[in-house]
Structure 1
Amino acid sequence: MTALKPPSPDSILYVIYQRDGDGAFTYEVDGGVIVSYWYGYAFDLKGKHYFTGFATRTEGTEGPEAEGGLMEPGHVAIAQATFVQGGDAAKPVWSQLDTDGYVGEFGANDQGDPVDTTRKAQSHATDDGRLVLAVPTRRFADGVATASFALFLFDPANVDDLSFRRWGYLGSIAAGSDNSAACDDEKVMPCAVSTGELTFGAPGASGLPALKVGLAGKAISGPGTLRDLGPADALTYTFNAKAGRYQP
């Protein structure tokens, strides 16, 4: 089939917010609200080819995007626009499937969690036709860069009874850290860098897979001392349907 380019970031923003940003990837809309393109992901599921563009929206002055109450201070609302490929082999086209202005919230200082472009997103299709997406992120604070995965669930056929619509944010999980900007040559704070590898495990009661993060590198074990990370340091997360999050 002829290759089909993903919808552009500015078109994703227009589809979600119905405001023209004149080609910009970040711009102000009503009431001081700032909308920004965050991440785009193309994937295949049950014989169909999809593209989802995620965006973020600050709270602004006209009220929250969050359902049922105010967002956490500094958070942004996550939104999405999803397309499915149609047409024929000679002339494929994108058809808009769904758009949602609020699938969850995250971030700090009125910005979304920065995407880590040095790592690739990972996804896992469930037996009942859903998809778990893990987007790599990296946040920097107090001299420490923390690697994480922001987790999302795509449920195109509404097979579960979760409160999400077609997409929902399932929280974020840690996957390594780097204190190089704050350490001081082992004198007080040793320099410790660790990386995490994500694997999908067996499904739980919710039908969603367990997530395992294997850690490698160094960790601070005490004042001025380091230790090697190994298999015993791996972290396992399972989905808690009541909380709507992956938890240890």
Structure 2
Amino acid sequence: MKCRFGKGLGDSLGKTLAGWGVAGLVLALPLLAQAGPAPIPPGAVLAVMHNVEVPDQDEEAELQDGVTATFWYGQELDVDGKHYYATFVWHTRDSAARQGEDFAAPEVQVRLADATFELTHPGQTPAYSIRSIERKIGFFGGREKPEEVDSKRQAVEHRTADGRLLLAVPTATFDNGVVTKGYTMLLFNPNKKPEDDGWVWSYLGQVRTGEDNSAACDEGAVMPCIGSDGELSFVAGQGPLPQVQVKVSGTTFQGPGKIRSLAAADNLTYVYDSKSQQYTSQELASRQP
């Protein structure tokens, strides 16, 4: 179900979030958004972020100019004694950008935004305040779709020495009969002040960990079947952000019509590239001037 662009700020959110103890919204002030420590419903997140009327359990809202906002992921986090609920929403292009298209090209990405809530009044109603709303922290995905969250795996966290948190969200995206497994890398800076550069949340790219072509290989009748996965870990590097190491297992192609088992030599290392502000494979990074 899509929800049309809402009415006035106080009217729409007062009705949409009434069940969460919010009578109105003033973005310049801390906002109370939820009546307990459980995650805030997707519809309430969309309502707060975009001033739309959305039923609590709806995950999609239609905005002005044909843009669609869709709830992507939510994660509860504990950092320096504070409890947060971080949520992420992806957005399509507007109607003008899609005019004349029958389908989106592979290189067309979606815009990623975040809304982060902090538990400021535990045991009270409401209990959460808005820490930040950022309507563009990066672009990702393809064919105007996001990376698909893999609910079978858990997110992985790493806390840096300077008080930030690196969050790796597991993904498993299907395209042309192949599932590509990996993680979306996101960086949380809970101590960011309004005058500081950067964002509270930053998108740091994708880390690939494996693939599975079982949907395309037809049990070996069309091509050899392969399947691989990787165990992700963080290792301190030379900069403030760690290296990401992937210990791989499974099978991969060795040549036309042949497969082989993955070994230690196939393990992957990703490093943070300050120029692109994303994680990239160490092999690619070493080739850059």
Give the structure-1-normalised TM-score. 0.89
Partner of 1:226: 259
Match of 1:68? none
Q: CA deviation at 1:4?
A: 1.2
Q: 1:191-222 CA deviation, whole Å, 9 max, x = no partner?
A: 100011100111332x0110001110011101
Aligned to 1:237: 270
Residues 1:197 and 2:231 are matched in the alignment: yes
Asked if residue 43 in structure 1 is aligned to residue 83 in structure 2, the reply is: no
CA contact 1:186–1:224 (8 Å) conserved in 2: no
1:21 corresponds to: 54
Equivalent positions of 1:18-167 (< 5 A) are 18-23=51-56, 24-61=58-95, 74-88=108-122, 93-158=127-192, 164-167=198-201
Q: How well do the aligned residues superpose, as a CA RMSD in angstroms?
A: 2.4
Gaps spanning 5+ residues in structure 2: where? Answer: 1-34, 99-105, 282-289
Number of residue pairs matched?
238
Q: CA deviation at 1:163?
A: 5.7
TM-score (norm 2): 0.76
Residue 90 of structure 1, CA deviation: 6.8
User: Deviation per CA, 1:16-40, whole angstroms, max 9, x where unpaired?
Assistant: 1111223421121101110100000
- Distance across 2 between alignment mates of 1:199 and 1:54: 23
Equivalent residue letter for 1:93: A
The answer on whether the counterparts of 1:188 and 1:223 sit within 8 Å (CA) in structure 2 is: no
- Kindly state the Cα deviation for residue 74 of structure 1 after the two structures are TM-superposed: 2.3
Tell me what 1:8 maps to.
Answer: 41
* Pairing partner for 1:178 from 205, 208, 212: 212
> Does the CA contact (< 8 Å) of 1:86 and 1:92 recur in 2?
no
Instruction: State whether residues 236 and 243 of structure 2, in contact with CA within 8 Å, keep that contact through their aligned partners in structure 1.
Output: yes
Q: What amino acid does structure 2 have at the position aligned with 1:236?
A: T
Q: Distance in 1 between matches of 2:46 and 2:130?
A: 13
Deviation at 1:73, TM superposition (A): 5.1
Contact 1:219 1:229 in 2 (8 A): yes
CA-CA distance at 1:108 after TM superposition:
1.9
CA distance in 2, matches of 1:101, 1:134: 20
2:174 and 2:224 mapped to 1: Cα distance? Answer: 18
Identity among equivalent pairs (%): 37
- The one-letter code sitting in structure 2 at the alignment partner of 1:109 is R
Q: Who wins on radius of gyration, i.e. which is larger? A: 2
Structure 1 residue identity aligned to 2:144:
D
Q: Which has the higher strand share?
A: 1
8 Å Cα contact 1:84/1:95 also seen in 2: yes
Q: Does 1:212 align with 2:245?
A: yes
**What is the one-letter code of the residue matched to 1:32?**
G
8 Å contact kept, 1:103–1:169: yes
Give the direction of change, closer, same or farther, for the CA distance of 1:186–1:94 in structure 2 (3 Å limit): same
- Secondary structure, aligned partner of 1:119: coil
Higher helix share: 2
Q: Distance in 2 between matches of 1:185 and 1:29?
A: 44
Whether contact under 8 Å (2:54, 2:61) holds in the other structure is yes
Once the two structures are superposed, what CA deviation does each residue of 1:139-195 show, in whole Å capped at 9, x if it has no partner?
111211100100001112239x99631001000011100011111444562110001
Secondary structure of 2:117's aligned partner = strand
